[in-house]
Homo-oligomer: A and B are copies of this chain.
Amino acid sequence: MSEFSIGIDLGGTNLRAAVVSREGQILDRHTALTSISQGRDAVIDAMVGAIRTLRDRQTGRFAGVGIGVPGFIHLEKGYIFNSNNLVPLENFPLRDEIEKRLGAPVILENDANAAALGEKWMGAGRDVRHFILLTLGTGIGGGIIHHGRVLHGEIGMAAELGHITVVPNGLPCGCGNVGCVEKHASATAIAAMGRLHGLGENITAKGVYELAVAGNDRAHMIFEHMGRSLGIAIANLVNIFNFPLHLLSGGPLPAWEFFAPYMFEEVKRRSYTFRHTDTRIEKAALGDLAGLYGAAYLPFLSQELGSR
């Protein structure tokens, strides 16, 4: 009998859900607004409703639900904490509540970890045992795949790679640190540097990219800084992990030609391991579907491992 799972990517404004077969084919999809302002119950109702609708259209065996969420997950307890966008869901037994309502296994995962797992299952990480994904967006998220599984650390908070210090006296970050790589290399950081460099009060990362394409020197400088900052963080990761692959995804990726040469220059200089092994830094393959694939993979992986 064929088997399917449902993956959910829960953001601050959208809830995306997909039915995925055991073979990794997307069979059905659903998108809804995340009515966060209406409180916790409304969001849970919307999620459970979407899952039921999608499930009832299928005929195969239902393996369960994986949910990727921004913010920290307490894996054992099955709840979210310190999620900037989903505050009403924090510190609540979200996993158990949805399991109860559905009568099916539910697994929570950090959204960047889920994206990494998606790339492992169906994307650019298929052929390696170990790799790291960095998602460049509002911040920088990270997912570490070790022996085919997410490296979670003690309670599930590992891979906060956006908070690697790359400029010890750099820009202040919401996390309390200064000089986090996400303050120097995320899409938000590119836009902020654009404003600082007088490229326009309302300039976006895309706007900085377009200026770079047009030959603007300051836009080029911004991508140089972004690439070098990213390079310091990735060099650290290569030295720490000796993994064969590092994937980048997110909005700034079209600017690869502008930032990547500086990124590689820093990684080469700062990592003996990079220079002496076959270590790749590449674009991820699944775009914004990675998180959905990874979330949907969670119930299958849990079956394989015989444990949550």
Contact = CB atoms under 8 A, between A and B. Distances in A.
Interface in A135-174: 142, 144, 146, 151-161, 163-168
A88 to B, nearest CB: 20
B277 A158 contact: no
A277 B74 CA distance: 11
A82 to B, nearest CB: 7
A308 interface: no
A157 B273 contact: yes
B271 A158 contact: no
Nearest to A142: B240
Interface string A56-76: 000000000000000000000
A56 B82 CA distance: 60
A243 interface: yes
A166 B169 CA distance: 11
Interface stretch (A195-203, A215-223, A231-239, A284-292): A231-239
A176 B269 contact: yes
A171 to B, nearest CB: 13
Given A168-B167, A236-B165, A153 B243 contact: yes
Q: 10 closest A-B pairs (Cβ-Cβ)?
A: A153-B242, A157-B242, A158-B242, A177-B270, A160-B239, A175-B272, A163-B239, A154-B244, A164-B236, A157-B273
Interface of A: 82, 129-130, 142, 144, 146, 151-161, 163-168, 175-178, 232, 235-237, 239-244, 269-273, 275-277
